[in-house]
Structure 1
Amino acid sequence: MEIIATAESMNQAEALIDAGADRLYAGGHPFGLRLPRPLGLEEIESIVRLAHSRGKAVTVACNALMHNKQIDQFAAYLTQLAEMKVDALAVGDPGAILMLKEQALPIPYIYDAGTLVTSAEQIAFWIGQGASGAVAARELTLKELIMMQQKLDRPIEVLVYGPTCIHQSGRPLLTNYFHYTSGDRASRLDDQVLFLRDPKNAGSQYPIIEDTDGTHIFSTEDLTLMGQLKIMHENGLDTWKLDGVLLRGDAFVSIVALFDEARRAIEAGAFVPESFINRLKKLQPEHRPLGTGFYMKNPEDVH
């Protein structure tokens, strides 16, 4: 059972390793999407050195759909990542994958194309192209994920905690909105989380974030599969991702530590789902309800 956790800084990276994370997930603009904080190459290198000194791994996010300008910059970025010996890349753009293969750099890649990764056959295709695994779409059901993993000999990475991005636009929608309403940006948006609200649900909050990659709108709840971890383990779904893009600092570290404790309980045959679910609720921010999204639905009810 591998725990992957997003890292927003060198300090948090060390805390996440202490909390039980096996692999850290980091990256920077303009190649990595929806990160807790975009990191420069020097900071990524420091995190890689730290992780390797502790026997841990680092995946660098290169999951953007790249335009010509990004592709032109990507070769140099890949060379620098290879020099610092990162353990893997998360890549979804076929052009970026082609460039990685053409450069023959010794970096494994994990296929990460967001909502497109919905079948074992598609993952098998990319494994045939050299992928070491894949990140499953967050719109799949647990039943589908289990069936997919049973057909594959490489791991499927599953989000077990964190938000789902339900919309992305390359345009600066928040900036455009403030220009329209006030003639200028009301304030810097980089470190703010604003919300959209469903007129039919006064309590709904859809986080909306703008960065250099555009505008991202997230689900009203954080997904969790805490209650299903034992079932996942019994069916070979052992690669667990925790995403802290909306939950920063020590609060996210505490949740990673709880999932590590749950993993150890499963290994010891002492896992009680209800207990861990209740403890997770106590750690979860009040304004972010927990849910299972599509995971616990029947596939027939989704498609």
Structure 2
Amino acid sequence: MKPHVVVYKKLPEHLLQRLEAECEVTLFDRITQDNRADFLAALKTAHGMIGASLPITNEMLEGAPQLKIASTISVGVDNFDLDYFRRRGLMLAHTPGVLTEATADTIFALILSTARRVVELAEYVKAGRWKGSIGEAQFGVNVHGKTLGLIGMGRIGSAVARRAHHGFGMPILYHNRRPDPEAERELGARYVSQDELLAQADFVCVMLPLNADTERLIGAREFALMKRSAIFINASRGRIVDEAALIAALQDKTLYGAGLDVFEVEPLPAESPLLQLPNVVALPHIGSATHETRLAMAELAVSNLLAGLRGEPVPHLAV
């Protein structure tokens, strides 16, 4: 008898066919209020589940007594209670590695577009306001040679550091759970305390997973430590930052600007003050959103799921 798999995010047709060759598949392109009851009913007989962008609660999983593995099409696993998975002996697979370069590209796009005011000035041109040579009111700031501070030096942090060092001649400061000798040797990165990083960096990039230790790690105290000329970048998780404190720092010009791909609430509400601030570049959580990367993530997630269902070693287990 084939194992039953619940899919809760649209998959490319060839990957769906790959699943259907080995599994009975119940497919939901996405979960809404209209199909949530059907989704929960399908979980009752599921041996595996695969998808993304949906908080999977313990209550949902309690209704899935036959479940063996959940495979998320993401590197982040903050939509799951990892302690629950450990207690119950469930496997949770994720997709690290394949999104590293695309996400690092997005982070550097935020650095450049915020420093050089690309979005703001593109709108200035489109609005027909460009009447002659621009003046100081439209100037940005240099990126080349400025100090980059990375809070977190995992795969994505290292990829950003490579771009900064080799492409832009940027001195690199980093704070991590432990020093990274390779980054220090190859990129000239310097390990410092978080407070020292905040005080010295011209660009502060948060590169951390969301968990109990990192939630609201960056707040009013941390923004007060930063240079008034500094730019804050976050493409990790919104809840790592106290968003109200960030807004206050930007409004008071304690910070020069911010480039953000993630927010406390997503999609970002239309009434958010962040949307009214000219010194903010806000993106719709596009860190890994390229055709090539999203396909690679889905392929890896399917491989993870099928390995777990076959009883084979799972390539990338978070739990």
TM-score normalised by the chain length of structure 1: 0.30
- Higher share in strand: 1
Q: TM-score, normalised by structure 2?
A: 0.29
